[in-house]
Structure 1
Amino acid sequence: MALITFSGYPCSGKSCRAQQLKSHLEDFLQNPSYAGPKLKVQILSDDTLNIERSAYDSSRSEKPARGALFTAAQRQMGQDTILIVDSLNYIKGFRYQMYCAGRELKLRMCTVYVLTPAEMCKRWNEERTDGRKYAPETLDNLIMRYEEPSSMVRWDSPLFTVAWEDADVPAHDIWKAVTEGIVKPPNVGTQSVPKAPTDALRVLESIATQTVSAIMSAQSLAPSLGGPATLSLPSSSSSTLTVRINLPPRNVTLSELQRLKRQFVAVHKKAMVIGTTEKGQVEFGERDVAEKFVQYLEENFKP
């Protein structure tokens, strides 16, 4: 239903803000005035996944840690969940990856930027006694590499900034964003593409060849030139497959039909490799192929 991505310096207070927001969202969901779907609020963080702070000491250990976070986020995203991702999320490319995953599932999304001065983050890190302290050099490195969210880019917007001195998060504005915000359609590149059936090439070649033979037979039997004609084609089912075609006012030669057939097969063979056809539909049944081929011939016959 919604994805809320937290971002900020290490030890900037993100977890505290995430808990504040979770409490507010649960209150809104339990309010008698709420008439929407039944939802649950979940927080996903490095701590819930048991990712140690030392994972950020080197790029070799950080990469699988981010991968574990992203995989867990994908599993928990859903239409019945408001998912709060409480992690550093300091790389804009990673935030974009999360955005694409949420968009594919048609979730509403927003970003919460917890803004805290670097010196205060370092002091809070030193004061930690829960065993979740960053090494000083790691903390300096993460702060230096931090890529600040921007409301000007689609994967960070809408963006809500919470300063360290603010008493609370803008819960009402975030609630409105995750319940009334625009649901963006999935990117074409992220959508699963339907595939052609395994016998599509055989059907394509067979139906096109049979159609060419039927047209040549119809021309040899009909004394008049051109006009509508009914073609009877053999079918794998018990019934005969019939299609109608408008022939030009002249005899269509076999060489012309063979040329158009090769062009038609080549175009649709490419569609099989790509995994899609025009308008994103994959239709390789015998009747579908016959009707498409007849339409293709009518559009490409010379007067």
Structure 2
Amino acid sequence: MALVTISGYPCSGKTRRAERIKIALEHRLQDTSYAGPQLRVVIVSDDTLGISRDAYQDTRSEKPARGALFTAMQRAMDRDTILIIDAMNYIKGFRYQMYCAARELKLRVCTVYVVATQDLVKEWNETRMDGKTYAPQTLDNLLMRYEEPSSMVRWDSPLITVPWTDEDIPADDIWKAVTEGNVKPPNAGTQAVPKAPTDALRALEATTTAIVTAIMAEQAASGGLGGSVTLALPDNVKTNVALPARNVTLSELQRTKRQFVTVNKKAIILGTTEKGALDWSDGSIAHRFAAYIEDNIWQ
């Protein structure tokens, strides 16, 4: 139903705020005045995934750590879940990636920015007693690379700011964002790409090969008279193709087949975002290849 992205400096109090947000949301969901759908509130964080603070010491270990967080987020996102991502989320490109994933599922989004000064987070890091401190050099590097959220960009909006001086969280603003906020529909950049069935490549190759063979056999039987002919293919598949009044050579057909297969292989492997998923049945491939042959050999 909603994605709440927590962002802020390391050791700025994000986890404490995330827990309070979870408690506040659960309290409202259990209130007798609440008449909406049954929802659960889930927190995903470095701690819940067992990601060590040492993972942020260099980019080689940091990248898989972010990947693990994003994968866990994708697994937990659901229409009946308010998901809180308790992490630094300090790279705007990563926040945009999470926003796109949420938009793909038509979830509401909001960003909670936990603000603290660099001097304070350094002090709090040094005084932590839970063994979850950052090495001084790592902390300095993360502070330098932090990209502050902005209410001016769509992936950080609505942006709710919580300064270090506020122990309370703006529960009303967060509740409104996750229950009443606008749900932006997926666009071409964020929508799920329809995937072809696992046997689509096999069907593509087998069907186009059968059509080439059938055309050569038809020409041999008719003497190259051309015209509209019906090709009988394996598995009771039939298709019509209009042939010119000449013998179409095997090399022409093979070249046309390679071009058709190359174009369609890309659609199979990468998926397609065109309106309506392509049909990869033998009959559909046969009809499309027959039309492709007509467009090319009559030129």
- Give TM-score, length-normalised by structure 1: 0.76
Cα distance change on mapping 1:235 and 1:39 into 2, 3 Å: same
Matched AA of 1:235: L
Aligned to 1:201: 205
Q: Does 1:271 align with 2:263?
A: yes
**For residues 214 and 108 of structure 1, do their structure 2 counterparts lie closer, same or farther at Cα, with a shift above 3 Å needed?**
farther
| Residue 203 (structure 1) shift | 1.0
Determine the C-alpha separation between the residues in 1 that align with 2:134 and 2:251: 72
- Provide the rounded CA distance (Å) in 2 between the counterparts of 1:190 and 1:71: 16
Residues in 1 aligned to 2:297 and 2:263: alpha-carbon distance in whole angstroms: 23
1-structure distance, mates of 2:57, 2:254? 60
Name the CA shift for 1:80/1:257 in 2 (closer, same or farther; >3 Å).
same
Where in structure 2 are there 5+ consecutive unaligned residues? none
Contact 1:114-1:161 within 8 A present in 2 as well: yes
Partner of 1:191: 193
CA contact (8 A) 2:102 2:109 kept: yes
Count of residues in correspondence between the two structures: 291
Q: Over aligned residues, Cα RMSD in angstroms?
A: 3.6
Deviation at 1:147, TM superposition (A): 1.3
Please state whether the residue corresponding to 1:198 is helix, strand or coil: helix
Q: Deviations over 1:160-207 (max 9, x none)?
A: 222223353333333333334224426369636315241421211212
Query: Which residues of 2 match residues 229-248 of structure 1 at below 5 A?
Result: 231-237=229-235, 239=236, 241-243=237-239
Alignment of 1:20-59 (within 5 A): 20-59=20-59
Question: Could you say if the C-alpha distance between residues 56 and 184 of structure 1 is closer, same or farther in structure 2, counting changes exceeding 3 Å?
Answer: same
From the superposition, tell whether residues 270 and 257 of structure 1 become closer, same or farther in structure 2 (CA, over 3 Å).
same
Post-superposition shift, 1:13? 1.7
C-alpha contact 1:214 1:232 (8 A) present in aligned 2: no
Percent of aligned positions that are identical = 49
Gaps of 5+ in 1: none
Following the alignment from structure 2 to structure 1, what is the Cα–Cα distance between the partners of residues 224 and 134?
A: 86
Query: In structure 2, what is the Cα distance between the partners aligned to 1:65 and 1:127?
Result: 25
1:104 and 1:191 in contact (8 A); partners too: no
Shift of 1:258: 7.4
Pick closer, same or farther for the CA change 1:217–1:242 going to 2, 3 Å. farther
Counterpart in the other structure of 1:178: 178
Closer, same or farther: CA 188–29 of 1 in aligned 2, 3 Å? closer
Residue 7 of structure 1 and its aligned partner are, at CA, apart by 0.7
